[in-house]
Structure 1
């Protein structure tokens, strides 16, 4: 069971459910309920249009950085255009992730992750110098109580701090940097100069380092002891068995070097030393024994390393939600959902409040309403939806008026006391309908 530690701005319900909840609240009569539904419908279409523009910007500028790209630009970008395209992708990525109510991951957590382990007992190393830039966001800082298998049938209960969702963008340095480090480009697990984007679920906070594509894993000190002690134990009897052959070989070498007085101290039979065949047999026996032992230990080490890599791969495979282009598409939808839900909730509660509300009062009202209705505690981000309502401007034209002399008005204004005032439903529908009708001439683009 996951338990939330901190309130977050994320609203864990669909916008359709939020609209239904508002309608079931009993604050709107039948006529106003229909108008509110119409307002929400065109508002959702408006935000879909806005975020679609952002997606097109990302798609156009991500092409030279996409490691999975199967299309090429007709004219390759210049260095100046290349840098500008990278910046547009990064800025758009940060914009949609933050609009989806994700939180920037502190660097301190990454450092702790490299120094501490939670579920996967591995020593890890991430070279952050390999990146031109990296950005990591998360949502859902919670903890889970799990059972971990230890030594045969014994199970240990552990509390694991977990990120319910985490997204990572990394841009690798160009090939010249890796060639300067004497790396073989074809042996790298990534393509230099490309931008990788990963989206995962339920990642332990102290295992975040494992989602980096250039992470290197090795055995911990405990694994080294478990690996090394049996190896030493097996090596001792082998050395004792091969000691006569080793002495015989050493004596032969000393005779060749013309130091016979040292041969006498080895306590070996000189006849065997002077006879070529015994020395050859001793040499081959020693080489086979030691070589076989070394090969066995090396094979054990490689198998252990493969087990480690499989553990990491299996863990991330079943927790992966998307990568690269599909991450941008998913976050466009997430940001569109969150933005719509926030604006709908802000507008509804201003509409149904018997008295004008300040931003702080509105924020508290929405949080209390969500907790009472659904038992969900959120930290509603009031400034975002209020700014959006204030930015949506359009004309409200009466029957006898022409549009030429009608000024554009916003959905939200403030009085001299800082209280929020919104347009009534009929005027709000007219404004949002005006914006939609003029969408292709409207300049309120996200970027």
Structure 2
């Protein structure tokens, strides 16, 4: 699997792991917890501002709002600002975009449903898929009629799909069939899912329509055409022609042989029809399984839709940022000398590998940037260190106190007026 920045542990667990090194010093334990309690509140405040920004600039494209509500945001919602903010949140949450090659591969293959899906991409101005976290699991799939095969399936832990729908005129001109999908042209759809098979990513597209594969078509049409033609031309039709010719000429009809030949042909034709019905029924069963998978995805795997997806994204973004800050500060604090970014990166990744057998690609540049931004990290000549814990508490407390400076500015302005 590809190494990724995502840290598969919650912030409380990582915090406890870091303070275990000085568990005998209760004051330091308490101060460390206080420090990151304030840091967490500060990041939560930043996430709140991002959420407000997203909602403001998404409102014009939100399909969950009425037309009248959306129109009220004309001139207030900015698409470019919305997209830029969304990408920022995804980056903070350690989501990565699925490239076109991986998507095309997923569209061609199927691990679980064994069904080809057709997607009319003319419905979208743009579409993107972002993922985070991966794992493998054993699953049983039907191979033949009475045999199931166990395969290893690779899953994405989280998947977000971004769909920017074309305008109504474009959909009409290009004869895009949306069927019964409640899609609002010109809107932007966002959906977050959990545990999606890597090779079944096409199932999260709302306009994915099941279609017969080349194999299904061959198994259905080849036996039907050639078998039916062969049976009709060698048994049924000759028997009927013979009976009709005898009737026309007034000759005695050999009913026994004619009926036997006709019955054999009809029985064989009936068997062929049963075979064709079974092949078609297999395709229908696949469609039913796909429908069930889709229902399960919508009911059990869906974590948020449209503006409701912001909470999930911002929550994961906020937590990832805090986890990176905890790890970077803790390892620099324990170090007896300043470290380069590469040295810090190696130490943290080695710690995950040795303690949890996880091959993690820690985003050290982002972590150090966060430390520097909140005043806890210092860089000199390419080497990094953090301010001591007691001083860090004062620094971060000042940072939090200055977040809301409305009263101070108001008092200052009033004094100047006096």
TM-score interval, normalised by the smaller of the two chains: 0.7 to 0.9
Instruction: State the SS of the aligned residue for 1:156.
Output: strand
- Distance in 1 of aligned mates of 2:210 and 2:373: 50
Cα distance change of structure 1 residues 215 and 186 upon mapping to structure 2, 3 Å threshold: closer
Partner residue of 2:389?
A: 425
> Do the aligned partners of 2:63 and 2:187 also contact (CA within 8 Å) in 1?
yes
Flag the 1:193–1:380 CA change in 2: closer, same or farther, 3 A: same
- Equivalences for residues 339-358 of structure 1 within 5 A: 339-358=321-340
**More displaced stretch, 312-321 vs 212-221:** 312-321
Q: TM-score, normalised by structure 2?
A: 0.79
1:40 alignment counterpart: 36
State the partner residue of 1:118: 111
Once residues 70 and 113 of structure 2 are traced to their aligned partners in structure 1, the CA distance between those partners, rounded to angstroms, is 46
The 10-residue stretch of structure 1 (58-67 or 324-333) with the greater mean CA deviation from structure 2 = 58-67
Partner of 2:6: 10
Tell me the equivalent position of 1:412.
Answer: 377
Shift of 1:169: 0.6
Residue matched to 2:346: 364
Cα deviation for residue 421 of structure 1 reads 2.0
Change (3 A) 1:374 1:108: same
Which residue of 2 is the match for residue 314 of structure 1? 292
5+ residue gaps in structure 2? 249-273, 407-418
Equivalence for 1:251:
none
TM-score (norm 1): 0.74
Q: What is aligned with 2:63?
A: 67
Matched-pair contact (CA < 8 Å) for 1:27–1:352 = no
Distance 1:15 1:184, change over 3 A: closer
1:301/1:86 CA distance change after superposition, 3 Å: farther
What CA distance in whole angstroms lies between the structure 2 residues aligned with 1:100 and 1:14? 13
Aligned residue for 1:137, secondary structure, equals strand
Q: How many matched pairs?
A: 380
Please say if residues 127 and 164 of structure 2, whose CA atoms lie closer than 8 Å, have aligned partners that are also in contact: yes
Q: Distance in 2 between matches of 1:110 and 1:384?
A: 28
Residue matched to 1:285: none
Q: CA offsets per residue over residues 399-439 of structure 1, 9 Å max, x none?
A: xxxxxxxxxxx3211123x1112111122111211121121
Q: CA deviation at 1:88?
A: 2.6
CA distance in 2: counterparts of 1:347 and 1:63, whole angstroms: 38
Deviation at 1:341, TM superposition (A): 0.7
Which residue in 2 is equivalent to 1:192?
Answer: 185
SS at structure 2 position matched to 1:199: strand
Structure showing the higher helix proportion among its residues: 2
Contact 1:363/1:380 (<8 A) preserved: yes
**TM alignment of 1:268-287, pairs within 5 A:** none
The more displaced of 165-174 and 126-135 is: 126-135
5 Å-filtered alignment, 1:246-325, equals 307-319=285-297, 320-322=301-303, 323-325=305-307
| Greater mean deviation of Cα atoms: 231-240 or 116-125 | 231-240
Helix, strand or coil: the match of 1:165? Answer: strand
Paired with 2:6 and 2:145, the residues of 1 have a C-alpha distance of 41
User: Are positions 1:163 and 2:195 aligned together?
Assistant: no
2:417 is the counterpart of 1:439: no
CA distance in 1, matches of 2:18, 2:8: 16
Question: Does the residue aligned with 2:21 lie in a helix, a strand or coil?
Answer: coil
> In the alignment, which of 79, 86, 89 is matched to residue 96 of structure 1?
89
The alpha-carbon distance between structure 1 residues 441 and 308, as it changes in their structure 2 partners (threshold 3 A), is farther
Q: Give me the CA root mean square deviation.
A: 3.6
8 Å contact from structure 1 (residues 121, 220) kept in 2:
no
Cα distance in 2, alignment partners of residues 429 and 127 from structure 1: 55
Deviations 1:176-219 (A, max 9, x none): 01110234667455322121122223323222122222223201
- Residue 440 of structure 1 aligns to a residue whose secondary structure is coil
**Are the aligned partners of 2:339 and 2:383 in contact in 1 as well (CA < 8 Å)?**
yes
Select 1:216's aligned residue among 203, 209, 213: 209
For residues 277 and 58 of structure 2, what CA distance do their matches in structure 1 show? 43
For structure 1, which segment, 128-137 or 156-165, has the greater mean C-alpha deviation from structure 2 after superposition?
A: 156-165
Where does residue 405 of structure 1 map in the other structure? none
* Partner SS, residue 24 of structure 1: helix
Q: What does residue 315 of structure 2 align with? A: 333
Aligned to 2:267: none
Unaligned runs of 5+ in 1: 247-265, 271-295, 393-409, 443-447
Paired with 1:185 and 1:51, the residues of 2 have a C-alpha distance of 36
CA distance in 2, matches of 1:22, 1:390: 20
